[in-house]
Amino acid sequence: MYNILMNLIKRNIILFVVFLTGAAVLVIELTATRILSPYFGNTIFTVSSVITTILAALSFGYYFGGRLADRHPKKSWFYSIILISGLLVFVLQILSKLFLPSVAYKLSFISGPLIISLVLFLVPSFFLGMLSPFAIKLQQVAFKKEGVGTLSGEVFFASTLGSIVGSLATGFVLIPNFGLDSIIIYTASFLVLMGIIGLLTSGIKKNEAKRSHSEVLTKGGIVALAFILFALSLSLGNLNLYPNTVFSKDGVYEKLTVFEGTYENRPTRFFMQDLSSSSAMFLDGDDLVYDYTKYYNLYKLTKAELNNALVLGAGIYSIPKAILADEPNAAVDVVEIEPELQQIAEKYFNLEVSDRLKTYIEDGRRFLEDTNKSYDLIFSDAFASIYSIPSHLTSIQFYELAKQSLTQNGVFVANIIGDLSRQTPNFVLSQMRTFSQVFPNSYFFAVDSPAQIEGQNMIFLGVNSDTPVTLTDELQKHMVNPNRFDLSNYPVLSDNYAPADYLTFGSISRLNVLPNEQIGKESLSLIKQIVSIGPRYPNTKSKDDFIKFLIAEMETLLDQVVLQEFEHEGNTYTNIIARTNLSQKDRIILGTHYDSKKYADKDPKNPQNPVPGANDSASGVAVLIELARNLALSDNDTNLGVDFVFFDGEEGDPDLFGTFEGWYPIGSTEFADKIEKYYPATLPSQAVIIDMVCDKNLNIYAEKSSVLSAPSQVTKFFETAQSLYPKNFSGQVISEIKDDHTPLNEAGIPSFLVIDIDYPHYHTTADTPDKCSAVSLQKVGNVLMEYLKNM
């Protein structure tokens, strides 16, 4: 019986070891995503990087492990590899504490996870990958009568079965009950211990009385190193990233931390999920800390009384507490996937136990699918940060589920994180389009400012009725007018296609772009949007659509928008005047034209087709919009009033073809003729007209009539421009050009033209956005900003 048992152990001991190391591989793989997610989010880029790194490591491990096994088919080598693997997992843990926090945020959202995965996980996984081919060789040596196929099948079966057990154990047992630090440290300890035991047992020979002095020293040193790494890993595992931490624990999905500090000069208790600031509570008052949470009361726009509310994503129960305090008869259901948040909120954030509050530990979408209840308010706050967005809560199917769970006149409010840049990709604009298709009666709010293109909290409001709501003045200030954007350029998200990670990468990649560089990038995106609207000559729908867009944009950015509408030879024209700093008497006009030419009369192949007008029209509009946005967000007080004037009819009679005879700028002429209406007391001190400024080969010279009419202004402008970009701006005078500055000069306003006249696609169908340069637009925008600053 003893011999049978010993033979069974001898037959299967290597397979059992491979089973355990296979489990260790999956423990490391699954915890790797959790280690990276605080820095890069639990995105497809993070998951793909981890899987790619582990698979690459295992592949090379199989290859080199097999070659090493053929040279040294000894158990001592096999267990040494296990021991080294364990030591490297200790190193992984130490690096994740000392190296990762200081480096991760400096890396790209896309490439960063792959770089860090290679640094942390490649080498230990490589050594673990060497074990399977080594085990096959050892089994072949021990059981020569067995076929290689049988032995290989047994090893791979044991290794894969171990991986299955490791995967299930990590997801269902280890992560829910132990912190990441403990899982990694004890996995490393287990591997080290298994390697040491294996070395000791495999190295014992019959009748061997003692070992050599050097062997004892070597193995003793390895054991000592293992204990040192173990102790260091434990000490680093207890480090807290935040001062004044009062609670810290690894939750099922994130690391949960409560610490105290100040916010807006008030004592505050903060709650962090991984490294994302989830919620906070003032310690000296009951008012809400973060502005986005205050939008929960949007239900009051349609409901006199709230009976049932649903909150998706608990945070630390800030919004449920506010609803319960506001509405004494309301019941609040909270759906949250992290099990311990209610207990944390009760202990640290003054959440009182109430029979009106019920928490469901499950996924928000699954809850909506299963529930039969109807709610007057659903508040969705499930996005921990822009780095961690659950894609299944971004699709049109999710919003349809939410709408089905609303009462008549009920409201759905969602907190979305992103930006309002027109650059693609853009998660928020895709969400706006998706949301609007489910909630035709929808409203969007930028918590910081609708003029801001940097990332911020966005609030989506969907009303389950056709009755428009009346917004307060404060809400009007924060409302995002969808007419500002061509949402058709951004995809509708569905369960079949919801690349939230890719779309949010756009916002993240824009975080480190300097403000003056954004002028060019945003201007080019504006040009693309304007051209996509269509031709902008008189009596076309596309021109009317453009006017709606421009009015919405200017009303968002500036203080006042005035329309000058008039008829001329059977055509309707509209000049758009947008003003800021209305109280200032000293004013300057920044002008451009927005109309495009009806016929491409310089295009021999397509003379009857309209000109897209990317450079000759849209470029000036785009630069001025970006200037207006920068002024709207500027904190600098100025004694200068700025009027942005967008002229119609600069191309003259739309049916004029192939000749300049009889041409004149219709819109600016009408504006100049009625100048007293807009400036009854004092004329503007000057006007700057922008036209054709996005050519990739940017060359701007002083124009002759500008020099004659506004000599000091031209001199100052080109001095400023040449100090910044001497290769692109020259004070050398070129021939006289008639443009929108001409009637303004005749009206007594010193005006000059900024134009790159040497544009090869002028009045052709090739005047498209691909001919434009963000760098050129940036340069022109920066010069104009500096010029205004020095006035």
213 has a pLDDT exceeding 50: no
- For the chain, report the end-to-end CA distance as a whole number of angstroms: 101
- Window from 12-16, 159-163, 502-506, 611-615 with minimum mean pLDDT: 502-506
pLDDT tier at 148, thresholds 50, 70, 90: confident
Give the domain-ending residue among 509, 528, 553: 509
- Note whether 710 and 779 are same-domain residues: yes
DSSP 493: P
Q: What is the mean pLDDT of residues 570-597?
A: 96
Across the chain, what does the average pLDDT equal? 89
Structure tokens at 527: 């040009």
Number of H helices, E strands in the chain: 26, 19
Whether 260 maps to a domain, the answer reads: no
Q: How far apart are CA 82 and CA 189, in angstroms?
A: 11
Q: What is the mean pLDDT of residues 426-450?
A: 96
- Window from 237-251, 441-455, 489-503 with minimum mean pLDDT: 237-251
- Note whether 424 and 537 are same-domain residues: no
> Higher confidence at residue 41 or residue 379?
379
Q: How far apart are CA 705 and CA 752, in angstroms?
A: 8
> Higher confidence at residue 338 or residue 463?
463
Q: What is the mean pLDDT of residues 489-498?
A: 90
Q: Nearest Cα to 148, choosing from 66, 34, 88, 209?
A: 66
pLDDT tier at 209, thresholds 50, 70, 90: very low
| Tally of domains in the chain | 3
426 has a pLDDT exceeding 60: yes
Per-residue confidence (pLDDT) for residue 6, from 0 to 100: 47
Whether 692 maps to a domain, the answer reads: yes
Whether 13 maps to a domain, the answer reads: yes
Range from 273-287, 481-495, 609-623 that averages highest in pLDDT: 609-623
The phi and psi torsions of 248 (rounded to 5 degrees) equal: -155, 130
- Note whether 462 and 524 are same-domain residues: no
Domain coverage including residue 665: 519-789
Whether 282 maps to a domain, the answer reads: no
- Note whether 327 and 182 are same-domain residues: no
DSSP 686: E
Q: What is the CATH number of the domain that holds 80?
A: 1.20.1250
550 has a pLDDT exceeding 90: yes
Per-residue confidence (pLDDT) for residue 231, from 0 to 100: 57
Q: H/E/C letters for each residue in 680-699?
A: CCCCCCEEEEEECCCECCCC
pLDDT tier at 125, thresholds 50, 70, 90: very high
Whether 251 maps to a domain, the answer reads: no
737-787 pLDDT, tens digit per residue, is: 999 999 999 999 999 999 999 999 999 999 999 999 999 999 999 999 999
Per-residue confidence (pLDDT) for residue 70, from 0 to 100: 92
Per-residue confidence (pLDDT) for residue 207, from 0 to 100: 41
Whether 45 maps to a domain, the answer reads: yes
Q: Burial level of 307, CB count in 10 A (0-12/13-18/19+)?
A: middle
Q: How far apart are CA 598 and CA 611, in angstroms?
A: 6
Phi-psi group of 530: left, alpha or beta (phi > 0 → left; psi -120 to 50 → alpha; rest → beta): alpha
Whether 244 maps to a domain, the answer reads: no
- Note whether 505 and 535 are same-domain residues: no
Q: Nearest Cα to 580, choosing from 572, 588, 592?
A: 588
Residues 6+ apart with CB under 8 A from 129: 25, 57, 58, 59, 60, 61, 62, 65
532 has a pLDDT exceeding 60: yes
pLDDT tier at 243, thresholds 50, 70, 90: confident
- Note whether 434 and 302 are same-domain residues: yes
Per-residue confidence (pLDDT) for residue 238, from 0 to 100: 53
Q: What angle is formed at CA 414 by the lines to CA 413 and CA 418, rounded to 5 degrees?
A: 145
Q: Is 787 helix (H, G, I), strand (E, B) or coil?
A: helix
Whether 285 maps to a domain, the answer reads: no
Contact 412, 403 (CB under 8 A): yes
pLDDT tier at 7, thresholds 50, 70, 90: low
> Higher confidence at residue 743 or residue 228?
743
- Note whether 479 and 380 are same-domain residues: yes
Q: Residue 643 forms beta bridges with which residues?
A: 579, 589
Contact 769, 527 (CB under 8 A): yes
- Note whether 102 and 136 are same-domain residues: yes
DSSP 750: -
% of the chain with per-residue pLDDT over 90: 66
Rg (CA), the chain: 34
Q: What is the CATH number of the domain that holds 476?
A: 3.40.50.150
Q: How far apart are CA 86 and CA 704, in angstroms?
A: 78
DSSP 739: S
- Note whether 417 and 499 are same-domain residues: yes
pLDDT tier at 206, thresholds 50, 70, 90: very low
- Note whether 701 and 625 are same-domain residues: yes
- Note whether 232 and 294 are same-domain residues: no
Q: What is the mean pLDDT of residues 10-23?
A: 86
21 has a pLDDT exceeding 80: yes
Greatest distance between any 2 Cα atoms in the chain: 116
Q: How far apart are CA 624 and CA 619, in angstroms?
A: 9
Per-residue confidence (pLDDT) for residue 229, from 0 to 100: 59
- Note whether 460 and 540 are same-domain residues: no
> Higher confidence at residue 658 or residue 111?
111
- Window from 54-58, 506-510, 722-726, 734-738 with minimum mean pLDDT: 506-510
